[in-house]
Amino acid sequence: MIIWPYAAAPAVAGVLCYFLFNPTVGIIALYMKILGYEWNHSLNGGQAMFPVIIAAAWREISNNFLFFLAGLQAIPKPFIEAAAIDGASPLKRFWTITFPLLSPTAFFLIVMNIMYAFFDTFGVIHVITDGGPNNATNIVVYKVYHDGFLGLDLGGSAAQSVVLMIIVISLTVIQFRYIERKVNY
């Protein structure tokens, strides 16, 4: 059940959020109105990123959950038992033994999720906001598409995609250089 969202296409996740947050028919928008909050993400640029984030994260959480579950199950029980004998409370055991032993999984997921955020959120944005309002959700990967295919500025679009690639590569390199040091295999 928990992994079902991962089976949904990004666009489907986007449509789901689009309807939930839609100012006219959306149930979440309705409740917010009842609570006295004026919700209109198609006009308010500050609000527009929110449904995008929700849709993208909802789809990805299940995937992350699976990896963490696998990571948890791969931790041999004697470690936890040894810590219990050493006198650690369950919470302490989690923070000092389980959590560090999950760090390879966590590191892998950080890298993958950042790449996901840069590239695979395209469908979600396309469905929910089309990069608007007023470019508030126009992230680079969407802008590449928008400028290239809609604006027909192919040169600029190609240049932006190179910039995007450089950004992601350098982010990944930074992660491997500085975060991986703290990871225990």
Q: Which parts of this chain interact with other proteins (CB under 8 A)? A: 76, 78-79, 81-89, 92, 96-97, 100-101, 103, 184-185
Q: Which is nearer to other proteins, 49 or 88 (CB)?
A: 88
Q: Are 25 and 32 in contact (CB under 8 A)?
A: no
3-state secondary structure of 73: helix
- Residue 178 CB, nearest approach to other proteins (Å): 18
Question: What minimum distance in Å lies between the beta carbon of 112 and other proteins?
Answer: 22
| Residue with smaller CB distance to other proteins, 36 or 76 | 76
Give dist(CA 31, CA 21) in Å, integer: 10
| 38 versus 180: smaller Cβ distance to other proteins | 180
Q: Where are the alpha helices (DSSP H) in the chain?
A: 4-7, 10-21, 27-34, 45-73, 77-85, 90-93, 99-101, 103-119, 122-128, 140-145, 154-174
Burial of 150 (0-12, 13-18, 19+ CB in 10 A): exposed
Nearer to other proteins, 82 or 166 (CB): 82
- Helix (H) / strand (E) element for 184: namely none
Our CB check for other proteins shows the closer of 46 and 78 to be 78
Q: How far is the CB of 183 from other proteins (least distance, A)?
A: 9
Cis peptide before 5 (omega within 30 of 0): no
Min dist. Cβ of residue 98 to other proteins (A): 11
